[in-house]
Amino acid sequence: MPLPALPVLLACPPATPNPAVTVEVVRTAIMHGDWSQVVDDGTRGPVDLPALVGIIHHPDATILVDSGLGLESRAGRYPRFPLTLLGDVTVPEGEAIVERLPEPPDLVLMTHLHYDHVGGLLDLPGVTVWTTDEDWRTYGGLAIGFPPRLRNGVDWRPQDMGAGRATQVLGRPAVDVLGDGSIWYLSLPGHTPGAAAVLVRAEDGPWLFVGDTAWVDQHLAGARRPWLTRTIIDARIREEARSLDWARWMKAECPELRVIAGHEPSLSAGIASTPRP
Ligand SMILES: [Zn+2]
């Protein structure tokens, strides 16, 4: 049964169940930080932020959203200074993405190329990886935190998200990942110049991975990263604010849509698609 078309303009994706596709969200690593670096609403105190990865099970492919941190981080070899200044990282036994999958994925969709999203690729040599043209131009070379051996270690396929050459979905430039309308790679720039989101139409309705446009659910509800954090972390602050507004609108207006923030602590134990009764 073909899926109904997605709206071009800003609107909720149809909640039509698509029994062929399921989604899981898993933790790969724990980043130990403090709430005062994460939100600007006055919250203080230690927080364990998970490095989350989405696993999309489609009949034709197993597809990841990001790769988290992996075995190199458990061994203390990645990330290196100066990123180690950001805090300690723990990769619990059995939680790296390469340990969670029975075989390598067919494709990895990157929301952006920061170190805590690309690290798990070091354990997946040769895997096909989508990023955007703009993030590839920014980070694919000698950027801080991008492991030099990753440049040729996986099969990078930068996607052209330019308006006019990509389809518009939910008000954003979009690429139909498998050509069947079930998984969409959307432009959501700002946190990095070419940041992306992933929309999945699964058996329990639509899921939206917004990467680090929102780190935590509070960012989707009104809090922001503190000014200093934004200045250091967000490549384009105004563009990030517009993308965050879009993500907030989607979450607030679309009750059927599950919006997944990149490091939401309540997802540390993982969640998965639940079939509708
Ligand atoms: Zn991150």
Total number of domains in the chain: 1
pLDDT in tens, 177-193: 999 999 999 999 999 99
In a domain, 202, yes or no: yes
In a domain, 221, yes or no: yes
Per-residue DSSP letters for 55-119?
A: EEEETTEEEEE-----HHHHTT-SS-TTGGGG--EE--TT-SHHHH-SS--SEEE-S---HHHHG
CATH number at 67 reads 3.60.15.10
In a domain, 27, yes or no: yes
In a domain, 193, yes or no: yes
Ligand 1 centroid–CA 161 distance in Å is 21
Strands (E), the chain: 22-34, 46-58, 61-65, 89-90, 107-109, 128-132, 155-159, 167-169, 172-176, 183-187, 196-202, 205-209, 258-260, 271-272
Residues 6+ apart with CB under 8 A from 42: none
Ligand 1 centroid–CA 253 distance in Å is 25
* Predicted model pTM: 0.95
Alpha-carbon Rg for the chain in angstroms: 17
Q: Which residues surround ligand 1, an ion (CB under 5 A)?
A: 116, 212, 262
Ligand 1 centroid–CA 54 distance in Å is 13
Backbone angles phi, psi at 6, to 5 degrees: -85, 145
In a domain, 261, yes or no: yes
Ligand 1 centroid–CA 214 distance in Å is 9
In a domain, 87, yes or no: yes
The pLDDT tens digits along the chain (277 residues) read 678 788 877 789 988 889 999 999 999 999 999 999 999 999 999 999 999 999 999 999 999 999 999 999 999 888 876 666 667 899 999 999 999 999 999 999 999 999 999 999 999 999 999 999 999 999 887 777 788 889 999 999 999 998 666 788 999 999 999 999 999 999 999 999 999 999 999 999 999 999 999 999 999 999 999 999 999 999 999 999 999 999 999 999 999 999 999 999 999 999 999 866 5
Q: Helices H, strands E: what count in the chain?
A: 7, 14
User: Which structural domain range is residue 131 located in?
Assistant: 22-158+167-269
The DSSP element (H or E) to which 218 belongs, if any, is helix 217-221
Residue 116, token pair as written in the block: 């805590």
The alpha carbon of residue 97 and the mean position of all alpha carbons in its chain are separated, in whole angstroms, by 14
Ligand 1 centroid–CA 16 distance in Å is 30
Residue 118, token pair as written in the block: 């690309």
In a domain, 76, yes or no: yes
In a domain, 2, yes or no: no
